[in-house]
Chain A
């Protein structure tokens, strides 16, 4: 299943462009980007600052509208020169899990509630949501910290809880924005190993934006962005 071109890609971009402004002020952030990420893959998105990494992540995350192109997520065409769904938040809730640079856990919820929140938003009952949240925390080996608030967690623990939250609604696409930037080498390695485990066991595609060279070894594939062009597609 891993990295198999025989199955349709979970993330499929064709001819995606994005520009900001018009005329003299026009900036082409992305120029005709094509991308395919398959189930089970952990993929890195690299590039210098201003190369368009965050813009691309925002487009795949249905946060930003492309100027033109075609996007399919988990087998559903979501953009074909226009959004195919009106409720993009529901789309994100169903299909995409997000992992942030600084975990972005809600400070007023404890670990289990941070994970259960996604399930509540998806319409799960409180009991089911808590059961699933606990299951995920234990899977990521932070079950013993279920009642701890984010401020009481170490960086590594907080990031594990954030990964549990990203997985809560069983999305098949996980977008990670600098997931190891706030961690030391050892914890960064642990987090990447966890993402690898998630990708293979949950049959998910993980796309991580990073500058962190020490985790390059953990990627199946790396996309390099330079001046809005996707290049150096090394596998």
Chain B
């Protein structure tokens, strides 16, 4: 006869309500882990999108994501001539706020050269850029659709295609436009400012500037060797694809990663305390029954089983509810939430461990109950 099961069955409403409360808490823990995974994935998505091997940026910087980088637009031609380089492309990156149908949208603009590395790897819907001006490919998370028109800077752009899952490390949807458009957007002065600069005699300045040059290399040469070749030029710095990914995960999103990690740890501690308190309270409610069980001859094993099994049932049901809930609502989160099976299993293991440890408080209380407490009024 399983006493834990019988007790749960008798008070199933209260027990399920407790499990539901716990499931919300564990759901939050799981979603925090998912947000962390999403954060890293988002950061890497952007750097992996061009599918390149070497990133060339301004000397002394770790651009273009961790730091600002500006290099001349003709750098691409110099890089293209290096031994082992198969293809190169110039790119620009900038965050921008624009309005669409009266609503403010934060976008992350990537400028790239048509038919060169730097653009989106895959078009989910519509077509890639075909004209060198005023076309854009947006991520579907922006809410834009092919045919939509939107002002970027001083020009109206038309959406021609959509990508999927392309967001910046801060979660903003990525928009691809041509390099020339992006250079104008980033470097061209507004007419009044340009007139003022001309009046000062300094001209409007060259706008053939890019944030980075990306390149694909041959299988016969390593990315590090090409990067070393680039580093010989004093005005340039180079990073391999692996190095760029490390910069992103260990630098750009590091603080956010630590923040989420700390918050997740705190939530786990809070969950442990709450589970311990629930089990303690459940045990307190059963002191007379435990005293009776001891008096009529039940072993400590039977009593410990009653408490630990209930704690485990609560943890497992709570975790399952929580995982089910988060799995079904994860797409409604403002940021990407990635639930990986190994994270779920690790959390389930942690919950089971926490339940066993937390039930120690209830077990301790139960073992101290005097069987004589069952006698008398």
Q: Which A residues fall within an 8 A CB radius of B?
A: 54, 57-58, 61, 63-64, 89-90, 92-94, 98, 100-102, 104, 106-109, 113, 116-118, 120-122, 126, 129, 149, 165, 177-178, 181
The listed residue (A58, A92, A108) touching B9 by CB distance below 8 A is A108
Q: Roughly how many angstroms separate A54 CA and B296 CA in the complex, as a whole number? A: 17
The answer to whether A61 and B9 touch across the interface, beta carbons within 8 angstroms, is no
B377 within 8 A of A: yes
The listed residue (A121, A149, A177) touching B302 by CB distance below 8 A is A121
The answer to whether A89 and B292 touch across the interface, beta carbons within 8 angstroms, is no
Q: Given that A100-B292, A108-B6, A108-B11 are known contacts, is A121 also in contact with B372, CB under 8 Å in the complex?
A: no
- Other 6 A-B pairs with CB < 8 A, given A54-B375, A89-B294, A104-B289: A63-B372, A89-B371, A102-B377, A106-B293, A109-B10, A165-B296
Kindly supply a per-residue 1/0 record for chain B positions 340-377, scoring 1 wherever the CB is within 8 Å of any chain A CB and 0 otherwise. Answer: 00000000000000000000000000000011101111
The answer to whether B299 and A89 touch across the interface, beta carbons within 8 angstroms, is yes
15 interchain pairs (CB within 8 A)?
A58-B372, A61-B375, A63-B295, A89-B294, A92-B296, A100-B292, A102-B377, A104-B288, A104-B289, A104-B374, A106-B3, A121-B299, A126-B1, A149-B10, A178-B377
The answer to whether A121 and B292 touch across the interface, beta carbons within 8 angstroms, is no
The answer to whether A117 and B9 touch across the interface, beta carbons within 8 angstroms, is no
B298 within 8 A of A: yes
Q: Given that A89-B297, A90-B297, A121-B297 are known contacts, is A58 also in contact with B10, CB under 8 Å in the complex?
A: no
Contacts of B208 in A (CB 8 A): none
The answer to whether B10 and A98 touch across the interface, beta carbons within 8 angstroms, is no
Interface size on B, residues (CB 8 A): 25
Q: How near does chain B come to A190, taking the closest CB pair, in angstroms? A: 21
Residue of A nearest to B2 (CB): A120
The answer to whether A101 and B297 touch across the interface, beta carbons within 8 angstroms, is no
Kindly supply a per-residue 1/0 record for chain B positions 279-309, scoring 1 wherever the CB is within 8 Å of any chain A CB and 0 otherwise. Answer: 0000000001100111111110010000000
The listed residue (B1, B6, B11, B371) touching A63 by CB distance below 8 A is B371
Q: Roughly how many angstroms separate A113 CA and B5 CA in the complex, as a whole number? A: 13
The answer to whether A100 and B375 touch across the interface, beta carbons within 8 angstroms, is yes
Sorted from nearest, which 10 A-B pairs have the closest CB atoms? A93-B297, A108-B10, A108-B7, A104-B292, A177-B375, A89-B297, A120-B1, A92-B297, A63-B372, A108-B6
The answer to whether A98 and B296 touch across the interface, beta carbons within 8 angstroms, is yes
Q: Which of A101, A108, A116, A121 has the most CB of B within 10 A?
A: A108
Q: Roughly how many angstroms separate A104 CA and B297 CA in the complex, as a whole number? A: 14
The answer to whether B289 and A106 touch across the interface, beta carbons within 8 angstroms, is yes
Q: Given that A90-B297, A121-B297 are known contacts, is A57 also in contact with B375, CB under 8 Å in the complex?
A: yes
Residue of B nearest to A101 (CB): B377
The listed residue (A54, A106, A121, A122) touching B376 by CB distance below 8 A is A54
Q: Roughly how many angstroms separate A110 CA and B292 CA in the complex, as a whole number? A: 16
Q: How near does chain A come to B289, taking the closest CB pair, in angstroms? A: 5
Residue of B nearest to A178 (CB): B377
Q: Given that A104-B374, A108-B9, A121-B302 are known contacts, is A98 also in contact with B289, CB under 8 Å in the complex?
A: no
Contacts of B1 in A (CB 8 A): 109, 113, 116-117, 120, 126, 129
Q: Given that A100-B374, A102-B377, A113-B1 are known contacts, is A92 also in contact with B295, CB under 8 Å in the complex?
A: yes
The answer to whether A113 and B6 touch across the interface, beta carbons within 8 angstroms, is yes
Q: How near does chain B come to A165, taking the closest CB pair, in angstroms? A: 7
The answer to whether B6 and A109 touch across the interface, beta carbons within 8 angstroms, is yes
The answer to whether B7 and A64 touch across the interface, beta carbons within 8 angstroms, is no
Q: Roughly how many angstroms separate A129 CA and B294 CA in the complex, as a whole number? A: 19
Contacts of A100 in B (CB 8 A): 292, 374-375
Q: Given that A107-B10, A108-B6, A117-B1 are known contacts, is A181 also in contact with B377, CB under 8 Å in the complex?
A: yes
Q: Given that A104-B288, A104-B292 are known contacts, is A89 also in contact with B298, CB under 8 Å in the complex?
A: yes
Contacts of A90 in B (CB 8 A): 297, 299
Contacts of A178 in B (CB 8 A): 376-377
Q: Given that A120-B1, A178-B377 are known contacts, is A107 also in contact with B289, CB under 8 Å in the complex?
A: yes
The listed residue (B11, B295, B376) touching A98 by CB distance below 8 A is B295
Q: Roughly how many angstroms separate A235 CA and B299 CA in the complex, as a whole number? A: 39
Contacts of A109 in B (CB 8 A): 1, 3, 6, 10
Q: Roughly how many angstroms separate A40 CA and B289 CA in the complex, as a whole number? A: 30
Contacts of B298 in A (CB 8 A): 89, 121
Q: Given that A63-B372, A104-B374 are known contacts, is A121 also in contact with B11, CB under 8 Å in the complex?
A: no
Contacts of A98 in B (CB 8 A): 295-296, 374-375
Q: Given that A64-B372, A104-B288, A149-B10 are known contacts, is A121 also in contact with B295, CB under 8 Å in the complex?
A: no
The answer to whether A101 and B10 touch across the interface, beta carbons within 8 angstroms, is no
Q: How near does chain A come to B265, taking the closest CB pair, in angstroms? A: 37
Q: Roughly how many angstroms separate A90 CA and B302 CA in the complex, as a whole number? A: 13
Residue of A nearest to B8 (CB): A108
Q: Roughly how many angstroms separate A54 CA and B292 CA in the complex, as a whole number? A: 16
Contacts of A113 in B (CB 8 A): 1, 6
The answer to whether A93 and B296 touch across the interface, beta carbons within 8 angstroms, is yes
Q: Given that A107-B289, A126-B1, A177-B375 are known contacts, is A121 also in contact with B296, CB under 8 Å in the complex?
A: yes
Contacts of B299 in A (CB 8 A): 89-90, 121
Q: Roughly how many angstroms separate A155 CA and B33 CA in the complex, as a whole number? A: 54
Q: How near does chain B come to A59, taking the closest CB pair, in angstroms? A: 10
Residue of A nearest to B291 (CB): A104
Contacts of B296 in A (CB 8 A): 92-93, 98, 117-118, 121, 165
Q: How near does chain B come to A188, taking the closest CB pair, in angstroms? A: 16
